[in-house]
Every structure is written in C-alpha cells, then in structure tokens.
A and B are shown apart, each in its own frame.
Chain A
Amino acid sequence: MRRLQVLISLGTFLLLWELVTELGPIPRALVPSLTDVVSVFMSSSSVYLIAVNYGLTALRAFSGFVLGLAGGIGLGVLFSIRSMHNYIQPVATLFFAVPSVAWVPILIVWIGIKEFELPVAASFLCSFPPALYGMINALRTVDREQVDVAMVLGARPQTIFTRIVLPQALLKIIPLIKTEAVMAWKTVFVTEMIALSSGLGYLAMVYATTIEMSSLIAVVLVLALTTLAIVQVFDLIERRFSSRWVGESRWLRSPLGL
C-alpha cells in the first residue's frame, strides 16, 4: 500500500511536470520538460561527463567522510576511556554547531584551491565533529546498571567495553552519522561549485553559465538521487544492526518509504 502511494505520488508529479512544460506558458529554455532531461541521460557524451565528475565528487565525499568518522569515533572512545570527555566535549559541541558549509571559505584560505585536499577536508569536517561529539555522548549515556551487572557476572572492563558499551554507543550515533553523510555529500558539491574545476558541483556551475538547463537539472537529479541512496543505505544498516535492539518504531523510513 505504501509503495503504491509512493508510485502514485511520483507518477503524478512527473506527469504534471511533463504536461506543464509541454503545454504551459513556461519557456522550455528555463524549465525543460521531463523528456528533455531524460534525453540528457540518453546521450553518451553527457552521461560520460556526468559519470566522470560524479566519480570525483563521490570519491572526495567518501574519503573525507570515512576519515572523519574513523577519527571521531576513535578519539571519542579514547577520550572517554581516559575520562577526558569533560574537557573535550565543550570544544566538540562548538565545532559540531558550525554549519559544514561555513568551513569552505576558511579551508580555501588554509589549504588553497586544491582539487582533492580541499573537498576532502570539507567532507572530513562534516563527519569528524559529530562523530566525536556523538561518540562521547553515547559512551557517557550507556546504562551504568548494565555495566554493574556485567561486572558482577564476571566481565572485565575490556570485555564490558567491547561487548556491551561500544555496540550500544555505535547504535546511538547511527542516525547522527546518516545526517552527516548526506551533509558531506552536499558540502563537497557546494565546494566544487565555489572553488573547484571538476566534480558535479563544478559541472552544475558550467551548465548554469551556459544555460544548458536540461543538463543542469539532470545533474541536480543525480545529486538528489544520491542523497536518497545514502539515506536508504543507512536505513538498511539501522534495520540490519539496530532495529531489533531498540524496536522497529524508533526508525523512520526513508523519504521514499522503500
């Protein structure tokens, strides 16, 4: 039933788009029709151009995101073990509060317009502060009584940490990581728009400058579908690893409800 509703909703939107642009008063040069956009994906040269730049954007976003995630989780664990979280958390909170895109001009000054380092650093700053902040909070809020019971049952600190505390803390930060993965993807796109000469963001700017609206909307469509795919992947991870621990109801479905 839910899938049918999604199909009806999307189908109606696409149909209206096609009808309004084909028959309506809006000039197609500004708002291309659905068939115009689809034709971009039929052209091998356009697809090649989008694919190459998509690969670059994805590599940059993924590299920075993974580095930030590993660093944030690792340091979060380290600071919690060493009971340094009270000193680190305020700083992590401050960094977490800075919108990711706000880092881009600062990074341009610090790193320069470097095709790989700049977007990777921007993506890193999307995932590192929230991973650190989330991990510290998650570790601090693990149920103390579970730890007490595990101790009485015979578990040593290391076992308690790896078998009880860490899995439950990771579970708590998955929703945060999902949001930040999307943010990393968007931030790299914006960085490419502002400063770089490759990647999907750059391609979007080129198409905007030359007023190739069909190609521009095709790029935006790829950007949006990738965002949805990221949400979908994290939803799957949540369902696979954690919904059975915390109950299905906590997990919201992805926007497409697939």
Chain B
Amino acid sequence: MVEVTLRSVRNFILKSISTSFPSGKLSVILGPNGAGKTTLLKVIAGLVDYEGSVCFDGECVDELPPYERGVSYVPQSNALFANMTVWDNIAFGLRIRGFNEEYTRKKVKELIEMFSLGSVAHRYPVTLSGGEARKVALARALAVDPKVLLLDEPFTNLDVETRAAVEQEVMMTVKKLGRTVLLVTHTIEKAVVNAEKLHILWGGELLFSGRLSELSTEVLPEDVRYWLGSIIEVDGFYHDEGLCYAEVNGFKIPVTCVREVRRFRKVLIPAAAVKICRKGWLKGKVVSTGRSRTYFRVSVRLGDAVIYAITPIQLKSGEVVSLRISEAIPLGD
C-alpha cells in the first residue's frame, strides 16, 4: 500500500491530500491539465520538495533520495537518453546501481524480448516511433525492479493501435509482475476501467478517491461534471458484429469493449464523446444550459438519464436535440 499524506508542495498547485494506492494493483489518477497529477507522482518519487509523508507498506520514505525509494518513473515525454542506444537506456539503471555486466545483459535481454524491442535494440531514441519509445521507457523503468511504477500519461500521442498495445503492456506488467502501478491520465480510457482505484484531481484538490463503481458524478462540482461526463445505469450490454453496446432506456449506446462487459451495470459517457446534432435517432430534451469560457454546457434528458455535453452552439432549455455518442466507458462490477 502506498500512502500519501501531503500538507503542501512548494511552488506547485497541489494542496493538502491524503490518500492511498493498493499494492500490486493499478491505480489511476485522473484530472485535467494542470490539476497537479504529475506533481503527485513527483512527490511519490521524491523529485520535488514537499511537506507531508509518503509511505510504502507502512515504511515512510520521506528522508530517502529518489533512487532509494524503490520507485521507477516514466514521464510523459519518455525522457529517453538521446545519447544512448535502446540497449544502453534500458541497462542504465542496472549499471548505475552496480549490477555486474552478466546480470545486466540477461535482464536487458529479457526486457527487450518482453517488449518486442529486438529489432531496435541498437538504435538511438531519435529513430524510434512513439510506441517503441514508450516501450523502451517502460522497459528502462522496469529494469531496476521497482516496487512502485509511476506512469505519467503513458497513452498520449499514440495512434489507436499503438495505444492499445501499450495499454496491454501496462496491464500485463501489473498482472504478471505484480507491480503497484500509479497511472496519471487526463482522458478516460480503457485503463481507467481496469483500475483498482480511481483518484480525481481538480485544481490541486483530491475530489474523489475510491473504486470506479463508487463514482457518482452528481456529487462532483459542475465544472468537473462537464469535464468528466455523466454516469448512468444501463439495462444491459450486448455485442453486435464485434462492437459492444449498452442499452439505456431502450436506446443503444456504443461502449468500449472490455472483458466480461455483461457484468458491468453503469456507463460513463464523457462529455467530449457527446455531439449535439440537428438530426439523429437518439433524441433528448435540453434541461439546463450554461456557459464556460469557450463553449456552452448543456444537460440533456434521455429517458430517465441526464447526459452532460459541451457544444459550440447556444441551446435553450426545453429544446429537443439529437445526440451522437461516440463511445461510453463501462463502469462498475
């Protein structure tokens, strides 16, 4: 268990926070840009000054330098060492820690095979694709056998296919190697569904910490609701020609396909996944409208459910609109 109790972090937005992350499981820290997610990871890694405590399985590591905390950190940019080959990047931590060359070679080879990096092992980072670079950064982080793996936005700037592959690698790392993984993201994605615990950070404050099934957007501030989206109960899930759908009040909504989708009871419909259209078969009535700096907020009643959306068009309450939902996320077991 990773326990974090923060009073303040100098020069950063992060405020007083107290939370924990379960051992050997995936925890997701969700929040928009500038919410303090990366800072929280850096606090755990010991890379920024803070007041408070960070404890791993009851042992507090506040006085320890980053390399003695038993963590590994993969930043959003991957931060591969540009002057070293893929092999040397992965071997870096082992060599620095004084492991002998034979062990280093064996370990690096193992990781290169695990992440299918054999064809690029002797290339320099500049020649790698986004997905390859991300895998190298993951392999380098795992080489030193960390107790806790800190991943900062590991799925951004990747195409759909590569993203799916990296998601799979992360999940495999959690399951196969039993690592505690803390993953930071600003978008709701498949990894969120697989998380044991979800943390929502907003403006440096921890708004939610718990299992995904316990999340209810109604208790969140309006700003957060329109960023996160709406959570609604579903009547059921079904597959159709390889795609997954949820049935809500007789309506069919496309959802992300996850294993055992039928056991889920709710879906999260991200506000960004909802488009307001003039024509379409999914019709609802505008129940409230609002305005933020760059767009309009609308909540639309769809049967018993209320869907939050953002739109560039100003709408009036009571207006009937059509909705197009690109993809909802199944929630809760």
| A residues at B contact (CB < 8 Å) | 143, 145-146, 148-155, 159, 163-164, 167-168, 171, 244-247
Chain A residue with minimal CB distance to B72? A152
| B residues at A contact (CB < 8 Å) | 42, 45, 47, 65-67, 69, 71-75, 77, 79-83, 92-93, 96-97, 124-127, 140, 144
Instruction: Select which of A143, A146, A149, A247 is within 8 A of B127 by beta carbon.
Output: A247
The smallest beta-carbon distance between B81 and chain A, in angstroms, is 6
Q: Which 6 A-B pairs have the closest CB atoms?
A: A153-B93, A154-B67, A145-B79, A145-B75, A154-B96, A167-B83
Instruction: Select which of A148, A149, A155, A245 is within 8 A of B83 by beta carbon.
Output: A245
The smallest beta-carbon distance between A71 and chain B, in angstroms, is 24
In whole angstroms, how far apart are the Cα atoms of A167 and B88 in the complex? Answer: 15
The reply to whether B77 and A171 form a contact with Cβ atoms under 8 Å apart is: no
In whole angstroms, how far apart are the Cα atoms of A159 and B98 in the complex? Answer: 13
The reply to whether A153 and B83 form a contact with Cβ atoms under 8 Å apart is: no
In whole angstroms, how far apart are the Cα atoms of A244 and B93 in the complex? Answer: 22
The reply to whether B79 and A171 form a contact with Cβ atoms under 8 Å apart is: no
For B42, list chain A residues within 8 Å (CB): 148
For B93, list chain A residues within 8 Å (CB): 153-154
In whole angstroms, how far apart are the Cα atoms of A176 and B210 in the complex? Answer: 54
In whole angstroms, how far apart are the Cα atoms of A167 and B127 in the complex? Answer: 18
How many inter-chain residue pairs (CB < 8 Å) link A and B? 72
Q: Given A154-B93, A154-B97, A247-B127, decide whether A149 and B67 contact each other with a Cβ distance below 8 A.
A: no
For A171, list chain B residues within 8 Å (CB): 83
The reply to whether B47 and A146 form a contact with Cβ atoms under 8 Å apart is: no
The reply to whether A152 and B71 form a contact with Cβ atoms under 8 Å apart is: yes
The reply to whether B45 and A148 form a contact with Cβ atoms under 8 Å apart is: yes
For B125, list chain A residues within 8 Å (CB): 245
A146, A150, A152, A245 — most chain B CB neighbours (10 Å):
A152
For B72, list chain A residues within 8 Å (CB): 152-153
The smallest beta-carbon distance between A85 and chain B, in angstroms, is 20
In whole angstroms, how far apart are the Cα atoms of A244 and B79 in the complex? Answer: 17
The smallest beta-carbon distance between B295 and chain A, in angstroms, is 32
In whole angstroms, how far apart are the Cα atoms of A246 and B127 in the complex? Answer: 8
Beyond A149-B75, A153-B140, A153-B144, 17 additional pairs, beta carbon < 8 A: A146-B81, A149-B73, A149-B79, A149-B140, A150-B92, A151-B47, A152-B45, A152-B73, A153-B72, A153-B93, A153-B97, A154-B97, A155-B67, A159-B96, A245-B83, A245-B124, A245-B125
Chain B residue with minimal CB distance to A142? B82
For A145, list chain B residues within 8 Å (CB): 75, 77, 79
The smallest beta-carbon distance between B206 and chain A, in angstroms, is 23
Q: What are some 10 contacts across the A-B interface (CB < 8 A)? A: A145-B75, A146-B81, A148-B42, A148-B66, A150-B96, A152-B47, A152-B66, A153-B72, A153-B97, A159-B96
